[in-house]
A and B are shown apart, each in its own frame.
Chain A
């Protein structure tokens, strides 16, 4: 039996890096310690796609990697407006080759951020992001706000490792030295743990941010007695808490990015942070979901200048989310082929987008089958990054880490699959004399 320590978890944006993994004589993982339930399940592995396959007469027929990769390359080389989508649950090495593929074929390349924290990125481009790494929270934060996010379920180790329950230099007492605030539309399990729960009427976050901004900037007189279901006196006492704090952090989630005013919510959340900074150290951070959703945004930004939703059809990167996002080009019926890697648009995209996706040739690369597999024309199973393949990943706070390969696998790594597709595409184009 082999024991691996300080293993990194390829599940959420927390990327816990103190996991212990035991591997039996047969090369199978037998035990995972220190991970949350979801992380453990991810590392232990479950129901894999067993073989590459190509759809013929409506049925998937098993084939070799060579055949599937060749077919995938033919589809992409043939397409006039291909979409390359997903990229968040794989390593940066894959994303880099993906960008090269997109440049080669003039594709639209986009990742899951466009249906997740995409609005947060748009807000950052409006006003910036006063933030920090998670260790600053661990060592300094005396007020931790979770706004529209439910870490108990979505990021189970977040509080323990990085925030409310962790202990640090200026917070040696852990939660005794901190106050936790949860702002949400319902009393979530996270809210039950909080020192203060602020219940906001659905869609009312924008107003509450505005009210807090006004108070923090000395204009409490303009705030009405009640704002989106929150009483003014509660807002005043929250503002007072903030003013007297040494360091505050607001972690925000999908509850804010995808309700009502969308990216304007986040602009206001950041403006609230700036207002709080007039009194104390104030920071804010999106609770990124997939372990490497941030990594794709980083890679895309350094290679192409923009973080997601990039159209390369003109030979240069064109960035205009709302026009160049995956959902946009699908809903508009623009794209005529799609490569989907490590994600499941069939489950998460609007119905109109999924309908179009089902009509066009789809290549899927993933360790696991999911609803997208139901209509994929080429499926290519891959190794699980962080368990069967190594590479760079970026934590929610942009700390870069290297996930490891723990066990051997019969499956090909994402990076190699994409690289081989790229080589095949180049070979086809060369033959065509382009």
Chain B
């Protein structure tokens, strides 16, 4: 295979400690290599005056599956906001907050991203998620199955049968070809089956367990295996004024549990939605400082931002009761789709308005958090796409984080409540390219455990996923930063140039990463008896038709997760 040389770029590769050094990157057979066999025949990219980073890694974006597709179907008006005709190697594109699968692949690649985690896969509809992932070009991807509101999980947690729980979790991750354990409003989504909800320490109706019990038990189950990722948690009471106290208590739930790998024991996702003070929308305020303080002082927690992009978007989550609240609040259209024995989903369009005091304060929170956290390795840039805004807004966020001037300009445009109810105005910190490289690729890869599998860095042996941005490492103009990160000069995926001068030039198929936890056979046989009974008595599909078949992962990358020692 042809070799590729990227010359003269200023490289930011935080995992390998490379902090803005002018150096060459050598690529052969889709991997980063020490040196080339033949410099004369190698293709050379001159990256003079450019910033070079590993391909971007998104730890949390709803890009595929039943819920995303229900969002597309619900909103033809959103489809029309992103129409692009077929051109060159590209198929037609639609959508802004809910783009079609082709647009999703192309737009991520144009931003220099090469890996995306779909963070909410209902197990029963896992096949659907995988079908869409296969049809999402260029990028590599994985999906996290929702295992927390599952009746078998609830039963084992109630019975304190943690061994069986860990076997069940292993079976479920394998059956769905998932990457880890996703938790969304534990207990609350099950309660939503009868239009109820519940808080962190409330008993789940009919089950005699609390959400805190569920989170703790699943964290233990996760750490029984050498899972690349920790539990990935969307906790209780998302979006409610005053919820920051619940968030702090949720952090404490897993404190003291030891991780089976060198990483956090809980990733708390789209934290912006969990940082709210006040008792109602009237006295709503940011508590980003409290959350940041906790995360700064504790090593077991990592977060992603869920930062707001002002404007119209589509909210979608397995947190059914939250979406109902949003529908009652806005009166806009509302789709709900509860999934038997497992989870649910809700979808509501939403406008984050700069004229609205609450939305304006929400907008500050994601930025506050990113700037208040001392250690960038604990945080990943995200918008919880499309909940707080579409992923194509990342370059806007990057420019804000890198420029106090830009933030001040926008703060003048939004509702003045931001000056009283958020600390953003008082924060002078500006992130540099190195820190941006951490929160957009390196920390995401480490938090997901992908750095051991060639993602998020440019060390020898890593996947040759490289983003070259046409911007000087000394540039500080926010507009220039935003433009550069929206359209990479080059994106290279496994050694192949897929983006050149901001245009897609090749559309290879990406791989699907999944994890196989390895449980003892005797325990698995035991748990299978319960699984069989559950299918016979309650499910509406046969057990033999349930697991995702090989054809749905035509380009697999399998990570084994043995029992932890």
Contact = CB atoms under 8 A, between A and B. Distances in A.
13 contacts: A5-B544, A17-B542, A130-B336, A132-B339, A133-B337, A134-B340, A136-B193, A138-B538, A140-B194, A280-B195, A297-B73, A315-B87, A316-B85
Interface of B: 64, 66, 68-70, 72-76, 79, 82-87, 91-95, 98-102, 124-125, 127-128, 131-132, 135, 151, 193-195, 206, 324, 327, 333-341, 344, 347-348, 537-542, 544-545, 549, 551
A304 interface: yes
Given A281-B193, A301-B69, A302-B100, A129 B338 contact: no
Interface of A: 5-6, 8, 17-18, 92, 96, 103, 121, 124-136, 138-140, 161-162, 168-170, 246-247, 274, 277, 280-281, 283, 297-298, 301-307, 312, 314-317, 319, 392, 394, 398-402
B194 A281 contact: yes
Contact of B91 (A103, A134, A169, A398): A103
Contacts of B125: 398-400
B338 A132 contact: yes
Contact of A281 (B87, B195, B340): B195
B337 A312 contact: no
Given A246-B194, A277-B324, A314-B85, 14 more contacts: A130-B334, A133-B340, A133-B540, A134-B340, A140-B193, A169-B537, A169-B538, A302-B100, A304-B94, A305-B95, A316-B84, A392-B127, A392-B131, A402-B549
A130 to B, nearest CB: 4
Contact of B92 (A135, A138, A315): A315
Q: Which of B79, B98, B206, B340 is packed against the most chain A CB atoms within 10 Å?
A: B340
A398 B338 contact: no
A298 B74 contact: no
Contacts, number: 181
Contacts of B347: 128
Contacts of A8: 545
B127 A125 contact: no
Contacts of A6: 542, 544-545
Contacts of B84: 316
Contacts of A129: 70, 74, 335-337
Given A281-B195, A302-B100, A135 B341 contact: yes
A315 B194 contact: no
A376 B453 CA distance: 54
Given A138-B340, A316-B83, A247 B194 contact: yes
A124 B92 contact: no
Nearest to B126: A400
A110 B68 CA distance: 21
B335 A17 contact: no
B148 to A, nearest CB: 17
Contacts of B538: 135, 138-139, 168-169
B160 to A, nearest CB: 21
B85 A96 contact: no
A303 B101 contact: yes
Contact of B135 (A168, A303, A312): A303
A317 B128 contact: no
Q: Which of B68, B193, B347, B544 is packed against the most chain A CB atoms within 10 Å?
A: B193
